[in-house]
Amino acid sequence: MGILEKISEIEKEIARTQKNKATEYHLGLLKAKLAKYRAQLLEPSKSASSKGEGFDVMKSGDARVALIGFPSVGKSTFLSLMTSTASEAASYEFTTLTCIPGVIEYKGANIQLLDLPGIIEGAAQGKGRGRQVIAVARTADVVIMMLDATKGEVQRSLLEKELESVGIRLNKHRPNIYFKPKKGGGISFNSTVTLTQCSEKLVQLILHEYKIFNAEVLFREDCSPDEFIDVIVGNRVYMPCLYVYNKIDQISMEEVDRLARKPNSVVISCGMKLNLDYLLEMLWEYLALTCIYTKKRGQRPDFTDAIILRKGASVEHVCHRIHRSLASQFKYALVWGTSTKYSPQRVGLTHTMEHEDVIQIVKK
């Protein structure tokens, strides 16, 4: 029996098992086995295959956004509209066969946008280059899921299922569970909150399935067995996702209104160029980037060339971005902007910068 057959057997077993107190341990074990088999499925094959054309694209710019969706939902049209790159678009499926990069210039930042081939059902098992597509999506900072507004909710649930099965968790945060394997001493289990979905016995069963008999486990929030398995496996990617409904010019106003009110969703039309500016604003918010401007002593700030950093970046990050030896020669910095109590404020390396702050660095 191959791995795919084992996976489908376990999925059928989970589907037909009733969820109640008596079966929770059995279900927990099944989920652990399922995660194990899926991890095996993702491992590259040992046999040396001939080298084909490379699929992934070198990371460039300040952030990376991946376009994921079924064939013929408008991904290539969107890339051609947003960037100066022309991606071939036609009325038949699988027009795009490889990864095509483009660059969006917005608020002084260069955002790399990747147009990936369409995903089909069963992509996680390797159908239609699905594994390569999903592997590139794992390296992105934000995923834009392109959906056809005329097809309803089917596409969204299918895509989420495919991404879930390869360890991509969309719009979720990392479970607050402390887990550390040890050399000996058995399993020490503690929790700072009342657990309603996991028990000590279930945690032990799941750990035994992974051949872990000595470990320290501390639950700091009420997590499900699935989330605990994610912590054990440790290769899960948690990333923000923006659901973009294209082709809204083909549906009713009531339907557009319903889709637009969903969380993490934006409605657009690439054909009629509707609502694209709002999508860019939302994308900027999800990427959580900040622009920081530099200033020389006795001169006006340079507002033409911004330093783009992640939200929560400190003065030290700014120093490293300007030159790697600058942090070692740093004396103090003067900062103007919303991160300070008064302008200019004299700060050290640990000061957190905010969007559109101006900084002047003084060396020793």
Per-residue pLDDT of the chain (364 residues; tens, 9 = 90+): 677 778 878 888 888 888 877 777 788 888 888 877 777 766 655 544 545 555 667 777 788 888 888 877 777 787 778 777 666 665 555 565 667 778 888 887 888 888 777 666 565 555 556 667 777 778 888 888 888 888 767 888 888 887 887 778 888 888 888 888 888 888 888 888 888 888 888 888 888 888 888 888 888 888 888 888 888 888 788 888 888 888 888 888 888 888 888 888 888 888 888 888 888 888 888 888 888 898 888 888 888 888 888 888 888 888 888 888 888 888 888 999 888 888 788 988 888 888 888 998 888 8
Sheet holding 215-219, edge to edge: 177-181, 215-219, 187-191
CATH of segment(s) 63-87+97-171+237-286: 3.40.50.300
Q: What is the DSSP letter of 56?
A: S
**Residue 68 burial by Cβ neighbours in a 10 Å radius (0-12, 13-18, 19+):** buried
Domain locations along the chain: 3-44+175-233, 63-87+97-171+237-286, 289-363
H helix or E strand, kind and range, residue 96: none
Where are the alpha helices (H) located in 85-197, listed in sequence order? 130-138, 154-165
Beta partners for residue 33, in sequence order: none
Cα–Cα distance for residue pair 143/110, rounded to 1 Å:
16
Contact indicator for 144, 96 with CB cutoff of 8 Å: no
Q: Which residues does 123 contact at the CB level (< 8 Å), separation at least 6?
A: 130, 131, 133, 134, 162
pLDDT for residue 56: 62
Give the count of alpha carbons within 13 A of 201, CB side only: 7
- Among 140, 207, 133, residue whose Cα is nearest residue 166: 133
pLDDT for residue 251: 82
Residue in the structure block whose two tokens are 């070198």:
58
What class does CATH assign to 289-363? alpha beta
Contact indicator for 268, 274 with CB cutoff of 8 Å: yes
Contact indicator for 102, 84 with CB cutoff of 8 Å: yes
Structure tokens given for 340: 């300070």
Q: β-strands 142-148, 241-246: how paired?
A: parallel
Provide the 10 A C-beta neighbour count for residue 22.
Answer: 8
Cα–Cα separations (whole angstroms), residue 332 to 173, 300, 309, 316, 348: 35, 19, 20, 11, 5
What's the residue count for the chain? 364
Contact indicator for 322, 307 with CB cutoff of 8 Å: yes
The region, left, alpha or beta by phi > 0 then psi within -120 to 50, assigned to residue 108 is left
